[in-house]
Amino acid sequence: MESSLSLAYSPCPNDTYIFAALTNGMLADAPKVNVTLLDIDELNAAAAAGTYDLIKVSYGAIPYLMDHYRILRSGGALGRGCGPLIVALPGKFGSLNDANTARFAIPGERTTAFLLLQLALGLRPATTILRFDEIVEAVARGRVDVGLIIHESRFTYANDGLIQVEDLGAWWERATGHPIPLGAILIRNRVLDAARIDRLIRASLGFARENEAKIMPYVRAHAFEMSDDVMRSHIKLYVNEFSDDLGETGVTAVRDLFERAQKAGLIPATQPIFVEQR
């Protein structure tokens, strides 16, 4: 196994919670991990450039990355009741269909959120790309008509006077019955013993659950702009049984997302490649 690995993920509490033990030397027999924290659109771009051995990406970006990466079954974000939201000022739009000619602020073109938006609308809307934490303000100030929000913004958008137009996670669950695949950890094909790294990520998550007092200072340090309540709500929502292992339920959800997006002409034809557990 490699003596050191490069790893990139977001500063969001779910990622820092899962990886705190692994990246801070709290696990025995784990390699040294050199960490970079990036916004999700930056992560998707870094994966396309092949910059890191391990990297958190959107499922919407994965179809463009399968030549060089495989999907780990642990450490990602997949679940129910945790999908992206469409938000706007009150009185502007009664439903998502009412907004099909509006300009959307989105967190990136290869995010799962934007993929879901196009599937739900049945078209590609006009967009402005903003960092995920700038979208709510842009909508509240009228710089764009509608916002596609992810991460902790789902807990705070009402504070800026916005209302929910659509929950794309709920739309997906109604349409498919599956949990929503949001993000995954990819590992470069050249990295040896991927199954062991998958196990180390699960061990890191297990350590966090059993030793929160040791890892929460790291999580808190990167969540400095959010309250403790929002930070805890974020972890509770996005860190779940699928963070340990996608399982067949998760794998099926990912395959269905790819198939639907391919049929709609939104992504290239490809098959997700998962690291098998051993």
Q: Which of 151, 178, 222, 234 is catalytic?
A: 151
Integer Cα distance of 234 and 153 in angstroms: 10
Helix (H) or strand (E) holding 77: strand 77-79
The residues near 128 (Cβ < 8 Å, ≥ 6 apart) are 103, 104, 105, 106, 138, 143, 144
The DSSP call for residue 277 is: P
Query: Does 151 qualify as catalytic in the annotation?
Result: yes
Cα 268 from Cα 52, distance rounded (Å): 23
Per-residue exposure over 257-269, b if at least 16 CB sit within 10 Å of its own CB, e if not: bbebbeeeebbee
3-state class (DSSP) for residue 186: strand
In this structure, what DSSP letter does residue 107 have?
S
Any idea which residues carry the catalytic annotation?
151
